[in-house]
Amino acid sequence: MEIKKAVLFSKDLSGVGGGERLLFGFAKYLKEKGIETTILTFSFDKNKTFEGIAGDIEVVCLGSYSNKNSFFKKIFLEIPNIFRLAWQLRKIYPQIIITDGASNASTLYFSTLFSDIKYIVHIYETEFWFGNPDDTVKYASAYKKVFDEIRNSVIGHKEFIPANPPQMGFFKEIANNLVADIKNKALTKASLIFTLSKQMAWEVKKMYGKDAIVAKGAFPKELLQYKARKDIKSTLGIENKKMILSVSRLIRKKRIDLLIKSFSLIKDDQAVLVVGGSGPEEINLKNLSTSLGINEKVIFTGRIDEKDMYDYFASCDVFAYPDHADFGITPYEALALKKNVVWTSENEIDDYLKTNKRIFSADPNPSDFSKALELALCNKIDDNFDMSDYCWDRYFSKIYSAIELCLK
């Protein structure tokens, strides 16, 4: 079947992250192929968060959504949104819908009932990727048999996810089991599932009993020839310093506290840590740098505008990625710009990438991570390692080919 219409769906597009970049990147890829492409969401602010990303892609906001809502309020608000989404999907009637995450898939499950519209799901993160105690679905009965096996498979899972569930009332337990059951049904109904790593594909199989296709993509091909427009070191007043850069939402999972503690152990007086991003941990992180006596060597930039993002990458000497993740887009962007990258041993390294001398891997503790930072700072790598396999175009091409086979 020839693909003429496609919809990309995400409940919440109120912030910019790796998942959002992939969503809009794939929408542009489909549109360039002449496919009528629409993005549907319940929360979107182009002017505030998507400068330079949304482009001319049509985005239809159907309702309201907030991650700050309570567990039960989210469910209550979901019901009218499901009906709005179902109505819009029948109006457009695409051959395929692309969404990310089990939560979005659950919404699609209800919205596509009694129709022949197919959907595929990108799973960037399972329930085990969230250390937030409010995210308690991982403790549902459906996952009880595999909980310990998955939790013990990754350092960060054990670090952020308690072995025992928090205190929950009877109704919360019932709700958790219901949500888990719906997610299982939603992913079973999905025509295809894609993940960015073998670890995530393994978790999806364990939790949902569904096989996934592993495909990796991280950046636009234009980044391989990117030339900086701004000298960020000059802008920040650190022209003669060695710049370690981190860019992320400032939340616990990103482990910026680990990065600051590791940086405090570095003996190089010329090193400066630049922390890009904003979030609920910002005040705590600033207080931490002060308590360690390094606040004069740590620069918090706040949220970095998209138009300046790659200039920051191009200006740094080392990119640091302490995040609890198996695949992160930002370190691949840094590698594309020929920067040394320090990431945790949780990050999955393909056989091809194992020959990239710019990657410095370390366990997520201050001692090991600081040693990796020092090695990355003092090693000048002069090579032309080909990162083109991780361009979005190749990633989207793999997904598109799989969709075409699925629709035949």
pLDDT(291) > 70: yes
Q: Report the pLDDT averaged over residues 168-179.
A: 88
Residue with tokens 């182009």: 46
Q: Report the pLDDT averaged over residues 23-42.
A: 90
Instruction: Note the pLDDT tens digit of each residue in 299-328.
Output: 999 999 888 999 999 999 999 999 998 999
- Tell me the C-alpha to C-alpha distance, in Å, between residue 158 and each of 130, 150, 151, 215: 11, 9, 6, 26
Instruction: Note the pLDDT tens digit of each residue in 196-226.
Output: 999 999 999 999 999 999 999 888 899 999 9
* C-alpha R_g of the chain: 21
pLDDT confidence tier of residue 252, bands split at 50, 70 and 90: very high
Listed in sequence order, the DSSP H helices in 253-365 are 256-263, 282-291, 306-315, 329-336
Per-residue model confidence (pLDDT) at position 1: 65
Answer left, alpha or beta for residue 383, where phi above 0 means left and psi between -120 and 50 means alpha: beta
Sort strands 118-123 and 192-195 into parallel, antiparallel or unpaired: parallel
Per-residue model confidence (pLDDT) at position 56: 73
Share of the chain above pLDDT 70, in %: 92
pLDDT confidence tier of residue 49, bands split at 50, 70 and 90: low
CATH topology of domain 5-217+391-407: Rossmann fold (3.40.50)
CA distance 111 to 7: 13
pLDDT(134) > 80: no
Per-residue model confidence (pLDDT) at position 127: 84
Does 258 or 69 have the greater pLDDT score?
Answer: 258
Boundaries of every domain in the chain: 5-217+391-407, 222-385
pLDDT confidence tier of residue 288, bands split at 50, 70 and 90: very high
pLDDT(51) > 70: no
What's phi and psi for 275, nearest 5 deg?
A: -105, 110
Question: Domain 222-385 - what CATH class?
Answer: alpha beta
CA distance 63 to 82: 9
Q: Report the pLDDT averaged over residues 81-110.
A: 93
Instruction: Note the pLDDT tens digit of each residue in 330-376.
Output: 999 999 999 999 999 999 999 999 999 999 999 999 999 999 999 99
- Tell me the C-alpha to C-alpha distance, in Å, between residue 325 and each of 178, 284, 331: 27, 22, 11
Q: Where is 374: in which H helix or E strand?
A: helix 366-378
- What value does the mean pLDDT of the chain take? 90
Per-residue model confidence (pLDDT) at position 52: 56
Does 46 or 401 have the greater pLDDT score?
Answer: 401
**CATH fold match for the domains 5-217+391-407 and 222-385:** yes
CA distance 29 to 6: 11
Which residues lie closer than 8 Å to 394 by C-beta, 6 or more apart? 217, 388
